[in-house]
Amino acid sequence: MRSGWAVMGDPQVLPGYCLLYPDPVVADLHGLQGEDRVQFLSDMGAVGEALMNVTPARRINYEMLGNVEPALHAHIVPRYEDEAEPMRHQPVWLHDWSAAPAFDAARDAALVGALRAALTRAGALISRR
């Protein structure tokens, strides 16, 4: 991403759960100034839009908490109609994370590829070599 790195969450508490990290790392959103902050927030929205385009998500939750990890990161969480009640209307943090499948590069390759393609079409990816 232009602002940093988008990665798949581990575990995949809901299919497509992603995180966005700025590069360089800052403590919180206030550590980004001007265009850097705008770009991070734009990239966060681009990942959410890509998830909406490639999954059957009905909405996307965006969260920047910083309570445990003192480094800015955004959780981008697709929410689905088929989530069990009452979890469908609860914060994702109330899901059973210990029962969620770990990210698996082979199993999740199609989703990663679809997200990468959607982000490329949107002009949101850059080459970092």
Q: What is the mean pLDDT of the chain?
A: 95
Q: What is the mean pLDDT of residues 62-79?
A: 93
Fold held by 4-108: HIT family, subunit A (3.30.428)
Q: What is the mean pLDDT of residues 38-45?
A: 98
Question: Is the pLDDT assigned to residue 29 strictly greater than 60?
Answer: yes
- Residues, the chain, total? 129
Buried b (16+ CB within 10 A) or exposed e, 23-36: eeebeeeeebeeeb
pLDDT at residue 66, rounded to an integer: 81
What does the alpha-carbon distance between residue 62 and residue 48 come to, in Å, rounded to a whole number?
A: 8
pTM above 0.75, yes or no: yes
Confidence category of residue 78, pLDDT binned at 50, 70, 90: very high
What does the alpha-carbon distance between residue 85 and residue 89 come to, in Å, rounded to a whole number?
A: 8
